[in-house]
Amino acid sequence: MSAARRACPPGALGGLRALALGAALALAAPAAGGEYRGPIVDAHSHVPNSTAIDAYVAAMQRHDVVRVVLLGVGGAQKDDPAWLAAAARKYPDRVVAGLPLPDPARPDAAARLDAALARAKARVVGEVHVRQASRKIDRDPSDPAFVKILTVAASHGAPVVIHMDLDARAAAALERALRAEPTAIVVLAHAGGAAPAVIEGLLARHANLRVDLSGMHFARAPALATEAGPLDAAWKGLIETRPDRFLIGIDVWAARLFEPKMLDRLMGWTRRILGELRPEIAERVAWKNAAALYRLE
Ligand SMILES: [Zn+2]
C-alpha cells in the first residue's frame, strides 16, 4: 500500500485536511524522526562499587529509565553479588538484580547455579563471560558442562546473558549451544561485537537467541551511532525486521561513567536513537521485550 493511500483512506472525511496536517507535522518534527518519549528499561548495566547506584538512579529519574537490570561482570569484581543485592534493596522499584555466574568453568557450576536460583529467584543470570579477547577468556558454550548451566537456568525460567566476542569459530560454537539446549534463552550482550548480517543469520536460525544492544554507544566500538549521528542503517533495518529479539541497555561499569553529565549523555543518546525506530518498534526495544523476558511487573 502506498503512503498516499494510507494517509488518505477511501471514504475518509477531510482527507485533504489530514494530508495537510501530516505535512505540517512532518515539517515540525526533527529530520531524524524525533526522540522516543516512552519509558526505557536498561536491560544491562553494572556497578563498580557500593555507592555508584545512587548517581545512576538519580539519572534514571531524570531520563524516565524505569528499571535497570544490574548484572555481574563475570568474576572481575568479587563483591558483585553484595553490591547488586544492596542496590535492589535500596531501590526496589528501579533495580532488578541479576544472578552473577563468575566462574562457569567450575565443575560444580551448574549445581551451584541451581541452588542459587532456587534461593534468589533471580530473573536473569549473568553476565557470563564466554569469550572476551581482552581478558583472554575463551570458552566453548557447547561444552556439556556449559550446556548444563543453560539447562539449569531454563528450568528456573531465567535467561542467560553472555558476553561472547564473535568470530566465525565462536559463532559456530554459540550455534551448537543454542541447538543443544533449545529451551534456554540466551541473550547475546553487545550483539557479540558482530556485524548485523552475522546477527541476522543467528536470529533466523535460533528462536532461543535474543540480542542486547548494551554498550553499543558512541564511546565504544562497534557503535549503533556516533553521539550526534544517525542510527546505523544496517542495524536499523535488522531491528525493524526482528523487533521482538532486541533489548536496549547502557552497560555502564567504569566509575567515571557515573558522572551525572556522562549519564545524561548516554541516556539522552539512547532515547535519541530509539526515536529513529518506528514508534511501535521503539517501545518494544525500549522496554516491552525486556519486561516480558525478565518478567518485570
Ligand atoms: Zn556488561
* Averaged pLDDT in 10-residue chunks for the chain of 297 residues: 38 41 43 80 98 98 98 92 97 97 94 96 96 93 97 98 97 98 98 98 98 97 97 98 98 95 98 97 98 94
Measured in Å, residue 71 CA sits from the centre of ligand 1 at 7
> In the chain, where does the domain assigned CATH 3.20.20.140 lie?
36-293
Residues sharing a CB contact under 8 Å with residue 230, sequence separation 6 or more, in sequence order:
32, 276
**Per-residue pLDDT, 10:** 37
**Which string of b and e fits 56-75 if b means at least 16 CB within 10 Å?**
bbebbeebebbbbbbbbbbb
The enclosing H or E element of 130 equals strand 125-132
Q: Is the dihedral of CA 163, 89, 67, 292 positive or negative?
A: positive
For position 198, what pLDDT does the model report?
A: 98
| CA–centroid distance, residue 45 to ligand 1 (Å) | 6
Distance of CA 251 from the midpoint of ligand 1 (Å): 5
Distance from the alpha carbon of residue 297 to the mean position of ligand 1, in angstroms: 23
pLDDT of residue 33: 61
| Rounded to 5°, angle at Cα 52 from 213 and 75 | 65
Cα-to-centroid distance, 189 and ligand 1 (Å):
7
Query: Residue 31 and residue 33: Cα distance in Å, rounded?
Result: 6
Q: What does the pLDDT read at residue 297?
A: 77
Residue 166 grid coordinates? 564473535
CATH code: domain 36-293 is 3.20.20.140
Q: In which element (H, E) is residue 212 found?
A: strand 209-212
CA of 17 to the centre of ligand 1 (A): 49
Largest CA distance in the chain: 70
**What's 92's DSSP letter?**
T
